Amino acid sequence: MINIQEIRSQFPILKTLVRGKPLVYLDNAATTQKPQSVIDSLVRYYTSLNSNVHRGVHYLSNLASEEFENSRKTIQRFINAEKESEIIFTRGATESINLVASSYGRAFFKKGDEVIISTMEHHSNIVPWQMLESELGIKLKVIPISDEGELIIEEFEKLLSEKTKFVSIVYISNSLGTINPIKKIIKKAHSFAVPVLIDAAQAIHHKKIDVKELDCDFLAFSGHKMYGPTGIGVLYGKKKFLEQMPPYQAGGDMIKSVRFERTIFNDIPFKFEAGTPDISGGIALAEAIRFIEGIGYDEIESYETELLEYATEKVSEIPELKIIGRAKEKSAVLSFVIDGIHPHDIGTFLDVDGIAIRTGHHCTEPIMQRFAIPATSRASFAIYNKKEEIDLLTQSIKKVIQLFK
Ligand code: PMP
């Protein structure tokens, strides 16, 4: 059994009072809060390690480089990558996907090639590919979703053909909470020799990810959604692909030598890490991993499932409320609409009670189109949330409905 009080005590921000009321933070799909160990790691870096990494010969530079590279090893072990060099530090999931679209796409796609994504992708996994449509003349093919918010897998199978050159798919939807059957998708795509990128931005803090077991070719995630800092993220890529891909950005660290006649690029992962990285963020990300592993994914999954089930049951008592996203396999996201009340009004009134939810299209406008709604209200849960907070959420929603009657 996990001790929620003990976990909460590790998050100083949870003691915040919002206009005199305790903060109820239910906007975890946007970003999670940070435990003291992650905050301390950032402070420790700037207090006693700050120095630029790699290339340095002095004491601090060696220390900072060692810690930064140790963090890469921690991430490699965390997702069970074969090689350290398969872990590339980026700014987040968005940059990771852009890196692949830009580098892999420009190098290997040609006019008429097809890339498969789905209706439930975050804009970060739509627009980078769309840009290649106009630049290279490739075609985006989109897997439709059902009324429950599940991928229609038979449609995916129909879209796959010899024209398909890439599949890029979200593991867990940030707007619907749907957990996609990515193992099945990867296997099917591989039967057509098509590489697959998994957008794990919403999965990495909820589910154990083993890239070898999944056999995904690329995996993208952000530090800030897994109790780590903002500004740091990861792209995992299989060595055989990364080695063939050209650099995404150019500058320091991504080269072996620069001559005006010819520049030789560095080996992976550095080939994709131009410029000074987010050193403190990279080091603190390893601390976030230690926080997650300290609790354990089994405990995390079972507690968060309990929270989601409790929340679903509670809000289902409100007849005016309709849940958007009712997939059988679902993670800690509860999106809903209430007839006659705009989600922004719901969010604003809940904020008066100290309850932080997110309202809007959640960077997934095609999902809103699919359900013919302008926006949803979204409560999303993390390991420090409590059932009492869900009770407060429900009470507050009921109050808003009364106000608008
Ligand atoms: N994909 C999904 C599913 C997301 O939820 C998000 C963030 N909301 C992203 C990608 C982009 O992540 P970031 O903004 O951290 O790059």
DSSP codes, 385-398: --HHHHHHHHHHHH
Looking at the fold, whether 267 and 303 belong to one and the same domain comes out as: no
Tokens linked to 357: 């939810």
Q: Given pLDDT bands bounded at 50, 70 and 90, which one contains residue 385? A: very high
Same domain? 340 vs 268 = no
- Determine which residue's CA is closest to atom 14 belonging to ligand 1: 94
Q: Which of 293, 321, 345 is the last residue of a domain?
A: 293
CA–centroid distance, residue 201 to ligand 1 (Å)? 5
Same domain, yes or no: 126 and 266: yes
CA 53 vs. chain centroid, Å, equals: 26
Write the Ramachandran bin of 276: left for phi over 0, alpha for psi from -120 to 50, otherwise beta: beta
Which whole number is the average pLDDT over 294-320? 97
Q: Measured in angstroms, how far is the CA atom of residue 93 from the centroid of ligand 1? A: 6
Identify any residues that bridge with 323 across adjacent strands, giving them in sequence order. 336
Ligand 1 atom index nearest CA of 170: 3
Number of neighbouring beta carbons within 10 Å of residue 149: 23
**131, 255, 356, 363: which one is catalytic?**
363
Q: Give the strand pairing for 164-170 and 196-199.
A: parallel
| 55 confidence band (pLDDT: 50, 70, 90) | confident
Q: Are residues 61 and 160 in the same domain?
A: yes
Q: Tell me, yes or no, whether 122 lies in a domain.
A: yes
Looking from the CA of residue 230, the nearest atom of ligand 1 is 15
Q: Quick one: 165 and 66 in the same domain?
A: yes
User: Which residues does 190 contact at the CB level (< 8 Å), separation at least 6?
Assistant: 196, 215
User: 33 in a domain, yes or no?
Assistant: no
Token pair in block for residue 69 = 């590279």
Distant-in-sequence, close-in-space partners of 99: CB < 8 Å, separation ≥ 6: 88, 90, 235, 248, 272
Domain membership of residue 405 (yes or no) is no
Residue 216 falls in the annotated catalytic set: no
92 CB within 6 A, ligand 1: yes
**Ligand 1 center from residue 87 Cα (angstroms):** 18
Q: Are residues 80 and 180 in the same domain?
A: yes
Atom in ligand 1 nearest the alpha carbon of residue 362:
8
Average pLDDT over residues 266-275: 96
Q: Please answer whether residues 191 and 281 qualify as being in contact, where contact means their C-beta atoms are separated by less than 8 angstroms.
A: no
Helices (H), 176-334: 182-191, 211-214, 239-242, 279-295, 297-315
Domain co-membership, 360 together with 393:
yes
CA distance linking residue 363 with residue 249, whole number of Å: 25
* Residue 254 and residue 329 share a domain: no
Where among 274, 293, 312 does a domain terminate?
Answer: 293
CATH of the domain at 65: 3.40.640.10
**CB distance 174 to ligand 1 below 6 Å:** yes
127: enclosing H helix or E strand: helix 127-136
pLDDT of residue 349: 97
What are the residues whose beta carbons fall under 8 Å from the beta carbon of 122, sequence distance 6 or more? Answer: 93, 170, 174, 199, 201, 362, 363, 364
Which residue type does 153 have? I
Cα distance between residue 378 and residue 367, in whole Å: 13
- 344 pLDDT more than 90: yes
For residues 240 and 315, membership in a common domain is answered with no
User: 248 and 303: one domain?
Assistant: no
- Residue 338 structural domain: 4-26+296-400
Is 272 a member of any domain?
yes
CA of residue 226 to ligand 1 center, whole Å = 12
Q: What is the largest CA-CA distance in the chain?
A: 74
Q: Which of 268, 293, 318 is the last residue of a domain?
A: 293
Amino acid in the structure at residue 368 = M
Q: 336 and 206, same structural domain?
A: no
Backbone conformation region of residue 19, classed left if phi is above 0, alpha if psi is from -120 to 50, else beta: left
CA 214 to ligand 1 center in whole angstroms: 20
What order of strands is seen across the sheet that includes strand 164-170? 87-90, 233-237, 218-222, 196-199, 164-170, 114-118, 139-143
Best of 182, 363, 364 to mutate for ligand 1, by most ligand atoms within 8 A of CB?
363
Q: For residue 65, tell me if it sits in a domain.
A: yes
The reported pLDDT for the residue numbered 1 is: 81
* CATH code for the domain of 344: 3.90.1150.10
Q: Per residue in 209-255, pLDDT tens?
A: 999 999 999 999 999 999 999 999 999 999 999 999 999 999 988 99
Q: Are residues 221 and 332 in the same domain?
A: no
Is 354 near ligand 1, meaning CB less than 6 Å away? no
pLDDT of residue 405: 83
Residue type, position 389, single letter: E
The pair of three-digit structure tokens given for residue 366, joined into one six-digit string: 């095609």
pLDDT tens readout for residues 87-118: 999 999 999 999 999 999 999 999 999 999 99
Residue-level pLDDT at 305: 97
The answer to whether position 339 is within a domain reads: yes
- Rounded to two decimals, what is the model's pTM? 0.98
Structurally, the chain folds into a number of domains equal to 2
Q: Give the model's pLDDT for residue 56.
A: 83
The answer to whether residue 31 is domain-embedded is no
**Helix pair 343-352, 387-404: axis angle to 10 deg:** 120
Q: Is residue 149 part of a domain?
A: yes
Whether 179 lines ligand 1, by a CB cut-off of 6 Å, is: no
Q: How many CB atoms lie within 10 A of CB 80?
A: 14
Mean pLDDT of 364-393: 97
